[in-house]
Amino acid sequence: PVPRPLAGKRVLITAGPTHEPIDPVRYIANRSSGKQGFAIAAAAQAAGAEVILVSGPVDLGDPQGVTVKHVESARQMLEQVQAALPADIAIFAAAVADWRVANEGEQKLKKTSAGMPPLQLVENPDILATISKLTDKRPPLVIGFAAETEHLIDNAKSKLARKGCDWIVANDVSPATGVMGGDRNTVHLISRRDGEIAVDSWPAMTKEQVAIELVAHVARSVTD
Ligand code: C5P
């Protein structure tokens, strides 16, 4: 029989970018492809979990056997995440926009002689931090990602503390790495172990392999 170490577990995953509207036809986005989050959803499903994937706009087909909620903005993503609780494990792989446009146009913005329209930005809700700090419905294992272009490990360690999650999967997304949009990833798993912060650096592998390894770690930690 196929091993199903996550049978009976409910896993909530976010993936992809968010689109933050400027007006009815324009938006602010980022280069996230959603590949890593989708691969984690597929791996968790294969491990026997019930999987809910909340995804921003991506060019990927829905993984088989996974419940997918498609959203555009960070606020919609938070709403779907909250609606999907409770969960045993939450993995926040989405590249959520830090800011949205405060003065979103109801109509398409037009060129005028007055010059360029100013875009005012306001901070988006932090989904990972919000869910990590829940007192009633906090999933027992909350995992965040840290995509950085410099000071990767230090930034990831402070993110672990600041956001209140249990693990951080840190990856270097400098353009030279090809991680954003690419098929491979080099990650470091940062977790709290015996009161210390432990850093496990994994070799470069495909995003599917990263997903399988991560799900194996999750399975070990929830069955321990
Ligand atoms: O702060 P930063 O964006 O680097 O944190 C990355 C982690 O936080 C990722 O797990 C990402 O999915 C999550 N995040 C979030 N909501 C935000 C910003 C980040 O869930 N608004």
> So where are the chain's domains?
10-108+119-223
Out of 76, 81, 128, mutate this one to test ligand 1's pocket (max ligand atoms within 8 Å of CB): namely 128
What ipTM was reported for this prediction? 0.95
Query: 57 near 72, Cβ under 8 Å?
Result: yes
Q: Respond yes or no: is residue 124 known to be catalytic.
A: no
What is the sign, positive or negative, of the torsion defined by CA atoms of 31, 124, 89, 51? negative
- The CATH code of the domain at 10-108+119-223 is 3.40.50.10300
State if pTM tops 0.80. yes
Binding residues for CTP, as ranges, are 98, 108, 125-128, 145, 159, 163
Q: What is the pLDDT along the chain (224 residues), one digit of tens a residue?
A: 788 999 999 999 999 999 999 999 999 999 999 999 999 999 999 999 999 999 999 999 999 999 999 999 999 999 999 999 999 999 999 999 999 999 998 999 888 888 888 899 999 999 999 999 999 999 999 999 998 888 999 999 999 999 999 999 999 888 888 888 888 889 999 998 888 899 999 999 999 999 999 999 999 999 87
Q: Is the CB of 27 under 6 A from ligand 1?
A: no
Query: 27 near 21, Cβ under 8 Å?
Result: yes
